[in-house]
Structure 1
Amino acid sequence: MQFLRRPTAPRSSFVRRFAASLVALSISALALVAVLGVIAPTPARAEGQIRVAEQFGVVYLLLNVARDQQLIEKEGRKQGLDIKVDWLKLSGGSAVNDALLSGSVDIAGAGVGPLMTIWDRTHGHQNVKGVASLGNLPYYLVSNNPRVKTIADFTGKDRIALPAVGVSVQSRVLQFASAKLWGDKSFDRLDRLSQAMPHPDAAAAIIAGGTEITGHFGNPPFQEQELAGNPNAHIVLNSYDVLGGPSSATVLYATEKFRTDNPKTYRAFIDALADASRFVAANPDAAADIYIRVNHAKIDRGLLLKIIRNPDVQFKIAPQNTLPLAQFMYRVGAIRNEPHSWKDYFFDDPALAGGS
């Protein structure tokens, strides 16, 4: 009787299977290493580099002084760092916010309106918050149309230039003023007359006249140049009147990650701003010269000094009176997250003590 035996694979087949097993094991091991590499925390970018986005106007004077006097670099050396600072000039809160979210810049300079927009958009994610104020400066809506005495006098024939429609702080203040005049449901009534335009171009249009741009919601020094350069130019709206007093219109902000990953660089930047604030207060003439030099500005120096010395202007880094605009934006649905305090949308920092 013959017993049936299970056929065995030829030796060559066995070798092939054994080799295949080794390859599979190797692949699995490599895959495990790759997975562990992904899971393992990657080191943060080395400190010592900061990229700052600014825009146009005297409101950025603290940054101009910090740049000219190399205050960030000086404060960095106190932290044991050689900080490399890159400066980028943009126009409009939308462009600035896009640059920050894309990782092209680390510190963004724009109005409170763009800050609220990006704070709301990144809430619970990148967590963008305010870093500091660039000071309290009144912003004027100037018109060269003699018939326009208040915002109610603008018609379909007028166009109001501002940095970014529906995003910039000028646009938000105009909406706030419209809501006070016509009610919250009509807060965006003048958006249809608004046109995005860099401040220098808008100022040139107001001074020259003869174009569809009959209004410009700007900032210093462009608004003062318009008032001095065209006899028909006059103030239609003052941001301080809308917001209930002196307020920080333009601020700096950053992602939570940059602040967390670069504590010494961040500290050096804040300290440099404080240094710049003290410099401007003690040396207004030198600050004026720095503004002209850094910006290659074609501006009357006497007019510039008048702006810097204006008692309504305070170059300080603690934000002031920002909450009314923030709460208005929530009330009309411009942002989804309700701010209860200015500390909701600014990083907690001793340098900002006394903010509002």
Structure 2
Amino acid sequence: MKFRTFSLRALIGSCFLMGAIANVSAEVNKIGIAQQYGISYLPLMIMEENKLLEKAAKEAGLGDITVQWAKFAGGNVMNDALLSGDLQFASGGLGPFITLWAKTKDNIGVRAVAAMNSMPLLLNTRNPDIKTLQDFTEKDKIALPAVKVSIQAITLQMAAEKAFGSGQENRLDKFTVTQSHPDGMAAMLSGSSEINSHFTSPPFQYTELDRPGIHTVVNSYEVTGGPHTFNVVWASKKFVDANPKTYAAFLKAFDSSIAMINKDKKAAAEFYIRASKSKESVESIEKMLNDPNIEFTTTPKNTMKYADFMYRIGMVKVKPASWKDMFFPNMYNLPGS
């Protein structure tokens, strides 16, 4: 009888163990993560270099997972990869994210995992005749990551509406061309390209301003009335629901990466120079990281300014009731906006 009792208990225990193993094995063992160009993606760069997700996954009992990293020039292409299942985590500006959130709200449910930073975006030009947006003519071309959909393109539309009035948000779109940040900077600084202006991000915008004759026409913080989130990381609800432990491991790795940046800005600057093969000095990057206008934080800021604008002009068909509608619940305890 005792033997039978033991056997029954052993059988029950085995069932629980098999269930646990099945639960773990049900989660993916290969993760695709995408990033773009620039120092704003430093948290993901550090995650990749230090294999923080792999370590967090192993600590969570998920075993060895494979993490594949991809780099894209713009968020629109990245969104296609996410929808196809080639990516599990995408990252980029608010514009492409909000567009995908609205399109998938009632199906796979793409939401933001976390904000990545708050940074001002600058529209710089080498044309001395351009002092305001009203000064752009057919002779001028503005490079930005993705025409119409990038956060720079949407910020330009917001600025145009302020400058020219209601219904005029698209007035400058005809002057824009799609270029990656490095290519856009190279084109503008060459002096020989038709691209004489560049709506970009750190560190490219500051590198440009170090060159004689380059000046800023628009600062995004002035457009939004204060600091705003630049980049976010997003994933589908379908993936998150099916892979809760993997998702938790990603959050742990991501938080660790941001903490590393904020703990030692000089070390972060040295890492960025090495990883990106940037020709900038460590001192210039460290100064950038210490700029009070640049913050690596998971707290969303002024995201509703972009969502409201995009809904109002018809760019998206769904309006979030609050910023929380666009983020996963792990963010709800933060003072977002």
Q: TM-score, normalised by structure 2?
A: 0.89
2:141 to 155, 159, 175: 159
Contact kept? 1:319, 1:355, Cα under 8 Å? yes
- Deviation digits for residues 71-117 of structure 1, max 9, x if unmatched? 21222222112332110001112111111111111111111000111
Higher mean alpha-carbon deviation, 329-338 vs 317-326, is at: 317-326
Q: Quote the residue 1:104 is aligned against.
A: 86
Q: Quote the residue 1:137 is aligned against.
A: 119
For 1:350 and 1:255, how far apart are their aligned partners in 2?
15
Q: Quote the residue 1:47 is aligned against.
A: 28
Q: Structure 1 residue 286 and structure 2 residue 271: aligned?
A: no
Contact kept? 1:206, 1:233, Cα under 8 Å? no
1:341 to 313, 319, 322: 322
Amino acid at match of 2:228: S
Q: Structure 1 residue 223 and structure 2 residue 208: aligned?
A: no
Amino acid at match of 2:221: Y
Amino acid at match of 2:243: N
RMSD: 1.5
For 1:346 and 1:48, how far apart are their aligned partners in 2?
24
Map residues 1-356 of structure 1 onto 2, 5 A cutoff.
46-81=27-62, 82-228=64-210, 230-350=211-331, 353-356=334-337
| Local SS of the residue matching 1:248 | coil
Matched residue count? 313
For 2:297 and 2:183, how far apart are their aligned partners in 1?
28
| Local SS of the residue matching 2:96 | helix
Contact kept? 1:140, 1:236, Cα under 8 Å? yes
Higher mean alpha-carbon deviation, 160-169 vs 342-351, is at: 342-351
Amino acid at match of 2:28: E
Larger radius of gyration: 1
| Local SS of the residue matching 1:184 | coil
For 1:335 and 1:57, how far apart are their aligned partners in 2?
27
Q: Cα–Cα, structure 1 residues 145 and 48, in superposed 2: closer, same or farther, change >3 Å?
A: same
- Deviation digits for residues 154-192 of structure 1, max 9, x if unmatched? 111000000001100000000011111222311111110
Question: Any unmatched runs of 5+ in structure 1?
Answer: 1-42
Question: Any unmatched runs of 5+ in structure 2?
Answer: 1-23
| Local SS of the residue matching 1:254 | strand
Contact kept? 1:49, 1:265, Cα under 8 Å? no
Deviation at 1:353, TM superposition (A): 1.6
| Local SS of the residue matching 1:87 | strand
Contact kept? 1:132, 1:352, Cα under 8 Å? no
For 1:345 and 1:193, how far apart are their aligned partners in 2?
31
Q: Cα–Cα, structure 1 residues 47 and 352, in superposed 2: closer, same or farther, change >3 Å?
A: farther
| Local SS of the residue matching 2:329 | coil
Amino acid at match of 2:202: P
Q: TM-score, normalised by structure 1?
A: 0.85
For 2:53 and 2:147, how far apart are their aligned partners in 1?
33
Contact kept? 1:137, 1:314, Cα under 8 Å? yes
Deviation at 1:299, TM superposition (A): 2.2
| Local SS of the residue matching 1:349 | helix
For 2:99 and 2:131, how far apart are their aligned partners in 1?
31
For 2:68 and 2:222, how far apart are their aligned partners in 1?
36
Q: Cα–Cα, structure 1 residues 263 and 286, in superposed 2: closer, same or farther, change >3 Å?
A: same
Q: Quote the residue 2:5 is aligned against.
A: none
**Which aligned runs of 4 or more in structure 1 are off by greater than 4 angstroms?**
none
